[in-house]
Structure formats: structure tokens, C-alpha cells
Amino acid sequence: MRNLKISFIVIVLLTFFIHVEKMEAASGQTYEVGANILHVREDPASDATIIGLLHKGDRLTVFQEQYGWVQTYYGGSTAWVAKHHLIQASPEVPAANPEQTATPAKTTEAAANSVTVTAPSVNIRSGPTLEYAVIAGASQGETFNTISKSGDWINVELNNGNTGWIASWLTSSSGASTASSSEQATETATTQVASVNTDKEPTSANRSLSGFNIVLDAGHGGRDPGAIGLGGVYEKELVHQTTNQIAQTLRNYGATVIETRTSDYYLSLDERADLSNAYNTDAFISIHYNSFPVVSVQGFNTFYYTEAGHQLGRHVHSSISSAVPLANRGIGQAGYKVLRNTNAPAILLELGFITSPYDLSVIQTADYQQTVADAIAKGLLNYFH
């Protein structure tokens, strides 16, 4: 009888705690994505299947937490994201639908049914100010269905079903809307490169990367450090720095850049290829640094797998070889899994040896990484145009 009473009490207590947990989960908390790109996964694990992406500034409602992962809704189903990439949002700002780009709370004014781009090349952003990330590009004459308007910015529907924001003063519906000269320069600067060398700047809209989707794959990450070079330099860290510089430079040229990882976490080779294949990717570039037990071995390589990758590699490798002070080790075919499994034209760059004293002294500098970024951009321009 005593055991029966104890069992009854335990059941009551468990029911109470379960009820409390559900009540807390039902209340929900709103968070904002702090990373440039955040993977949405089926389960709370870094090796779980990626089912979608969120971008910096997107908002979501969290229902429960488990081992550093939080549950939300994505595409009408439950999904999980890593909590360390989230920032708790102010309670008065409503959460956006995770299926769409983040939508500000003050977006109340209705926009026209459609707008047409009047500038040669413009940015499409994740929110209605210049501070939001560029998520796509548009060229003169392109027309978009409008959803809403916030100040001088119009929320439009993109061809892939997502939404984005475009400056109204660069469209046919700008009317009396005006913008400062700095704003106009920024939004029409998709054909410019942030570089001290003016000869590295495109001179016309047809020399931009607007309309092209480029996937940048920063090799290794998380529990996979990659090669370890002289002085304990981790390949994954140097790769991350370089990829960030390349991404910013390509965005300055107007490209839509998707990064497989934006901080130090692990992704399998299949996940990297799957991410690229989920987009209408025009070029996939995997960034690496090399190593070898003999310190005299130095230089950079470019690898491809398919003929399409070969054509892409020829242009990018040629551009890099004419710009960097490292030995040219050539371009070759290799069966790397990330190249084999990627549908788009794909290349893998080995940008120098972290086990070479000379190479390491060069590749750790900001000048080298910017030079590589500019060279890749030029190579892509030559490839696409």
C-alpha cells in the first residue's frame, strides 16, 4: 500500500513538471539571427539534415531548448537551429515567418502591384535599410511583384519565392521619393569593388556579378581543424578569414554569396554539397590552405572534377596567378567528394602552404587575402562574361 502511495505521488509530480514545461514552451520567445547564414535542421544535432536557411536579421519564435539547440517552425513543420547564433529580440517586435525574409514591425504602407528596376544594377536586401545584408541583385528592366512598403523601401517577391527589399528610388515607382547621394551610390554600387586600386573596379553594369549565385565553402571547421601549420596555425581559422574577405568582395561586385559556414562549426562534405545543390548555384568555390612535411614545398593550386569546373578553374586560376607572389603549382583534376557531389561548376583552391615559412608569411596578411579576393572576382567576371 505504501509503495502504491509513493507511485501515485511520483506520477502526480511528473505530470506537474511536464505540464509546466509545456506551458513554458507554449509562451515562446522571439530571437533574431545573428549569423550571416544559419542552417535550419530536422533534429537538434550538427550532423542532422539541413532543411533550409535563415539570414542575419530574420526573426523566429522558439518553443523549447535542447542541448544548445532551439526548436522553431520552418515551412509549417518543427525544426531546430543552434542557439548560439541567435540574439534575444525585443518583446515588442513581432517575429517574422521563418519561411520569409525578416519583415520589420512598422511595415504598414501598401505598395504598388509591381515595380521595375530603372538603374543598371541594384542590390536586393534582407530588410528596408542599407544596413541589411545583400541577398540578391537585379538588373535594369527586371520587374517584381510588390508586397508592402516601408519608407523608401519596397518589399518584393523574388523569382525563387523568397522576399527582399529594394530601394524605391531605383525603380519605376519611386515617384517623389528621394534619397541622399550616398544612398544612391551604395545601392547602385554593385559594379564597384572596395579596393584602393581603381583599375580593379568594373566600369560598366555588364562587368558586374549581379544575378549570379556564388557558393563559398570555407573548408574544415569545428572539430575538424584541417591542416596545422608552423606555429600551430589552424587551417580552418585562416580559411575562415580569407573566405569572409572573398565573400565581401564578391558582394561588392553584386554577386549573391552563400557561405557554407560563417563561423567555427563542423559541416560534413555532403552537407556542403547539399547546400550548394539547394540553390540555383552558378559557381561553387571551396577555400583551403595546403600542408606538407617538407617546408620547402610552397605555392598554390586549383582543382576541378568536371569539364564545367575546368572552365571555371582556368579563369580563376589564371587571375590568381597573375596577382599573388606565390609559386604557381598549376591546375589539375581531382576527385574530391565536395567537387564530385556538387551540381554546379565547382573548384577547390589551395591558396598556399601553411607549412612553408615563406608562404605563411604572405598568406596571413590582409593584403594577400584581399588580393586573392579581387583575383577571384576578376576570374569570375571573365568566366561569366
Give catalytic residues, as residue numbers.
350
Q: Give the DSSP letter of residue 228.
A: B
Helices (H) and strands (E) in the chain, counts: 8, 20
Q: Which of 83, 86, 22 is nearest to 58 (CA)?
A: 86
Q: Which of 361, 17, 117, 351 is nearest to 216 (CA)?
A: 351
Q: Which of 64, 65, 54 is nearest to 32 (CA)?
A: 54
Residues 6+ apart with CB under 8 A from 137: 121, 122, 123, 124, 190, 208, 209, 210, 211, 254, 255, 256
Assign 217 to helix, strand or coil: strand
Q: Where are the alpha helices (H) located in 196-347, listed in sequence order?
A: 235-252, 269-277, 307-321, 337-340
26: cell is 507554449
d(CA 351, CA 301): 7
Q: Which of 352, 234, 235, 228 is nearest to 293 (CA)?
A: 228
Phi (first) and psi of residue 239, to 5 degrees: -60, -45
Length of the chain: 385
d(CA 148, CA 361): 51
Cα distances (Å, whole numbers) of residue 344 to 47, 153, 246, 313, 315 = 23, 33, 19, 13, 16
